[in-house]
């Protein structure tokens, strides 16, 4: 039975830092334990020994029921507002603690989102491709949750941002019209699946056509492809892979062609392998970020990243996955917007910190890399923040000083000034409500 989640005495307000343990996900696409940043962080954060036979995919920090964070109550501590107890307790979820101490979110956040922490913070270690997917907008999320609550567990939208820790590869959004026409001309297997008439409609499009006309043709093409029978896709992919392997002996394959060969090894005879030709293939360098709005198709391919999103776990999948697929919903919900996605490089807020501001109210992310013998201030913000230490060690000071090191996760209430210092070097990330939200 879970221990009672004791509330802080809020007359004076809680101004300290709350230590948390996060949750881990061992999805099949995760990296092997020994190579996974997620495995290392989770082990350091929780004290749990990693299982070297398991892949480690995601480390969750937040209030979502599918991967809750827990408040750590340490023996002998009183500054966190809990009564002294024996040993370390980890039975109080951050969600329960916030519900008992709602003012830690800040009044503006409470008015907008209630006692729900509006963002979910993650670290991802990707070894093989995630599913071709999209996240529903708010209205569709409410509908899907009502109709299929066991599949779509949230009635909230899920805009998200991935910030590369290593070189990071993703498929994101549909290619430009020009590139789409080249693809139809040079990948005969696509024509075999969708038919000559539909392929001709694509090739007949031009820049003078209305955006709606182009989107309609693209939607027909994508829906026809994704709805094809397993037998047709199996046969066509066999031809495609054979053709690419022969071409590989005569010339250097394009990046997209090499990716398709890789995807076929990971997900043989999967329609997502063919669909990859229709999407932008993006390669982020460490420190670059990619944001994804509602109803935009994407799939992470490889690498490690910090991820932040609105608090939701709704995913509509249609390829590159053994999980539940909802092809008709995915094909009907997409925006069919074309062109390269915007890459965020962040804005410098001080010599050591870069801030990434996506066009979503729920979150922003700061990347802070402190060299040895340096100090940085995080001024108080009207909303709460979450910190994860990725490397090194140092101190975080509010009303008291906390020693922090790799694997530590800390929650900072709204209106808390924080000073961070290190003698050896420190690398950390902060998630918080988007500062532009408070300027509106």
Which residues sit in the known binding site for Zn(2+)? 133, 135, 160, 298
| DSSP 8-state symbol, 50 | P
28 CB burial (10 A radius; 0-12, 13-18, 19+): middle
Closest C-alpha to 411, from 59, 80, 165: 80
Closest C-alpha to 422, from 392, 400, 399: 392
Rounded to 5 degrees, what are φ and ψ at 187?
Answer: -120, 85
| 54 Cβ contact list (under 8 Å, min separation 6) | 26, 30, 33
* 19 annotated active-site: no
Rounded to 5 degrees, what are φ and ψ at 402?
Answer: -115, 130
Q: Cα–Cα distance between 50 and 30 in angstroms, integer?
A: 13
In the three-class reduction of DSSP (H, G, I as helix; E, B as strand; rest coil), residue 11 is classed as: coil
Out of 317, 325, 355, 367, which one is annotated catalytic?
317
In the three-class reduction of DSSP (H, G, I as helix; E, B as strand; rest coil), residue 386 is classed as: strand
Q: Cα–Cα distance between 411 and 280 in angstroms, integer?
A: 36
Q: Cα–Cα distance between 304 and 127 in angstroms, integer?
A: 9
Write out the H or E segment, with its range, that includes residue 31.
strand 31-32
Rounded to 5 degrees, what are φ and ψ at 200?
Answer: -65, -40
**18-21/409-412 β-pairing:** antiparallel
In the three-class reduction of DSSP (H, G, I as helix; E, B as strand; rest coil), residue 265 is classed as: helix
Under a CB-based contact definition with an 8 Å cutoff, are residues 395 and 421 in contact? Answer: yes
Write out the H or E segment, with its range, that includes residue 142.
helix 138-147
Encoded tokens for 306 = 């910090």
Annotated binding site: 133, 135, 160, 298
In the three-class reduction of DSSP (H, G, I as helix; E, B as strand; rest coil), residue 181 is classed as: helix
Encoded tokens for 425 = 């070097």
Q: So which residues are the catalytic ones?
A: 317
């Amino acid at each position: 039975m879970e221990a009672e989640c004791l509330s802080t005495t809020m007359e004076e307000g809680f101004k300290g830092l709350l230590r948390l343990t996060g949750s881990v996900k061992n999805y099949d696409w995760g990296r092997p334990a020994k190579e996974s940043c997620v495995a290392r962080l989770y082990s350091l954060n929780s004290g749990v020994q990693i299982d070297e036979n398991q892949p480690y995919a995601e480390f969750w920090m937040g209030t979502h029921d599918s991967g809750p964070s827990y408040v750590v109550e340490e023996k002998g501590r009183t500054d966190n507002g809990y009564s002294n107890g024996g040993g370390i307790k980890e039975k109080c979820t951050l969600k329960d603690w916030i519900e008992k101490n709602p003012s830690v979110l800040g009044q503006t956040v409470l008015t907008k989102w209630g006692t729900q922490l509006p963002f979910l913070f993650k670290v991802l270690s990707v070894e093989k491709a995630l599913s071709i997917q999209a996240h529903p907008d708010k209205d569709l999320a409410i509908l899907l949750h009502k109709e299929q609550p066991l599949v779509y567990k949230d009635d909230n939208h899920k805009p998200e941002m991935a910030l590369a820790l290593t070189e990071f590869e993703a498929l994101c959004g549909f290619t430009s019209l020009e590139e789409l026409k080249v693809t139809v001309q040079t990948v005969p297997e696509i024509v075999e699946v969708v038919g000559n008439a539909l392929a001709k409609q694509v090739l007949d499009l031009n820049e003078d056509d209305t955006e709606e006309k182009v989107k309609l043709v693209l939607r027909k093409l994508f829906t026809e492809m994704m709805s094809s029978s397993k037998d047709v896709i199996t046969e066509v992919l066999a031809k495609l892979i054979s053709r690419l392997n022969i071409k590989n002996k005569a010339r250097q394959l394009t990046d997209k062609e090499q990716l398709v060969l890789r995807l076929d090894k990971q997900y043989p005879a999967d329609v997502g392998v063919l669909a990859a030709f229709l999407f932008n293939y993006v390669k982020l360098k460490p420190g670059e970020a990619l944001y994804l709005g509602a109803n935009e198709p994407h799939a992470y391919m490889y690498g490690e990243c910090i991820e932040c999103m609105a608090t939701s776990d709704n995913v509509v999948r249609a390829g590159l996955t053994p999980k539940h697929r909802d092809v008709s919903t995915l094909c009907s919900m997409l925006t069919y917007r074309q062109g390269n996605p915007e890459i965020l490089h962040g804005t410098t807020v001080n010599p050591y910190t870069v801030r990434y501001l996506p066009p979503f109210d729920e979150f922003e992310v700061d990347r802070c890399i402190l060299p040895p013998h340096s100090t940085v201030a995080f001024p108080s913000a009207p909303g709460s923040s979450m910190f994860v230490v990725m490397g090194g060690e140092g101190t975080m000071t509010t009303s008291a000083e906390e020693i922090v090191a790799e694997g530590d996760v800390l929650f900072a209430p709204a209106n808390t000034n924080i000073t961070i210092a290190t003698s050896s070097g420190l690398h950390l990330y902060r998630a918080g409500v988007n500062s532009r939200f408070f300027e509106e």
